[in-house]
Every structure is written in structure tokens, then in C-alpha cells.
Amino acid sequence: MKTWIALLKGVNVGGNNKLPMAQLRLLLESNGFHEVRTYIQSGNVIFRHQQSDRVNLAQSISEIIAAHFGFKPSVVLLTNEELAAAIEQQPFSDLSIEKDAKVLHFFFFDAAPTNVNQARLAASLHQSERLLVVGSVAYFHTPNGFGKSKLGAKMESVFGAPCTARNWTTVDAILRLVAGESAN
């Protein structure tokens, strides 16, 4: 069995798409998922499954949630190696997790984005912000805060592909949970 990390997009945000993590764990376990764990309420799920087809497995998770909770979130699936690589490849050498974990965001795409709207990107990126794409991860540094960024909410339309974001704190905590360490 393979260990997977599912990053669900847009759950438990602003009172929308409510998805209790305890219920999600039980639901996935009753549908053949093993050792299901969640991290915080924003749709981070670690599990083991015999399925190795990423696309089918992501679709299954989305459909299971739709059948029981009435909405169908998009799901990005990663292996623990891919999540570790995302942290290792973090391109901003002047940043540290100790001081910048809340202002560096990892946008995870299913595949490397190839349809970037450069004009929209230039119009949305504030001069204090930095954005670099490495493979299927866009690293977005927002020193003034993510909530003040114009680009954060436009990422999918700028890149022409669905994605989901997590800050560095969350990505690090998920990786620790996969490794069996405490997330705190």
C-alpha cells in the first residue's frame, strides 16, 4: 500500500463546503482507505491505499465527498516524497520557516502549469511579492500577508489550471505527520 497526501480545495472556508474532518476520516475508512489522518480543518488528509492511479484515486475521494456532503472539491494528491521535494525545492534562500512560514505559500497543481496569462500575472503581482514555479508547485511569497495580495485569489485564472494552496507551516506539519512526528 502506498501513502498519499490529499489536499482538498476550498473546504471549511468562510462557512462554505463544511466538511468535518472526523466524519471524513470515518467515511474514507469505510470506503477502503487505511490509516486515515487529517491535519487541521482545511482538508489535509494522509492515508494509505492500494490504488496507485493518482487521477482515479483523487476522483474517488471527490465523489465520495460529493455523495455524502453535497459538494465536490478538487483534490490534489501527492506522495510523501513529492511533498518533501516541494519543501526541499523552496526557491527563496533568504526565507526561513522560523520567521516566514505564514508568508510563503505553496500552490500545488496536478501538473506543471503551461498556460500562464503573463499580462494578468504582471497586473496582479505586487512589487513586494515574489512568485516562482518549480515543476508543479508555485511558491508565492507575500511579505505583507496573503489576505492583502491580489494574486492569491487569481492564481487559477492566471495559470489556467486548478490548484490548491497551503502555507509553509501547514506543508511542514503534514510532512511531519507523514513521517510519524508530532505536527506541533
Query: Which of 78, 106, 138 is the C-terminal boundary of a domain?
Result: 78
Is the same domain home to 74 and 88? no
Nearest-angstrom CA–CA distance, 48 and 109: 21
| Strand segments (E) across the chain | 2-8, 34-39, 44-49, 75-78, 104-109, 130-134, 137-141, 163-167
Q: What is the pLDDT of residue 183?
A: 54
The interaxial angle of helices 168-178 and 80-88, nearest 10 deg, is 140
Is the same domain home to 61 and 114? no
Is the same domain home to 69 and 93? no
Cell 487569481 sits on residue: 154
One pLDDT digit (tens) per residue for the chain, 184 residues: 999 999 999 886 767 788 999 999 999 999 999 999 999 988 999 999 999 999 999 999 999 999 999 999 999 999 999 999 999 999 999 999 999 999 999 999 999 999 999 999 999 999 999 999 999 999 999 999 999 999 999 999 999 999 999 999 999 999 999 988 655 4
Contact 54, 77 (CB under 8 A): yes
Is the same domain home to 110 and 154? yes
Cβ neighbours for 62, distance < 8 A, ≥ 6 positions apart: 72, 73, 74, 75
Contact 11, 17 (CB under 8 A): yes
Q: Is residue 90 part of a domain?
A: yes
Is the same domain home to 94 and 171? yes
Query: Which of 78, 109, 144 is the C-terminal boundary of a domain?
Result: 78
- Residues forming beta bridges with residue 132, ordered by sequence position: 139
Nearest-angstrom CA–CA distance, 181 and 84: 14
Q: Is residue 74 part of a domain?
A: yes
CATH code for position 36: 3.30.70.1280
Is the same domain home to 95 and 174? yes
Structural domain count of the chain: 2
Is the same domain home to 122 and 88? yes
Is the same domain home to 167 and 88? yes
Contact 44, 166 (CB under 8 A): yes
pTM of the model: 0.93
Q: Is residue 68 part of a domain?
A: yes
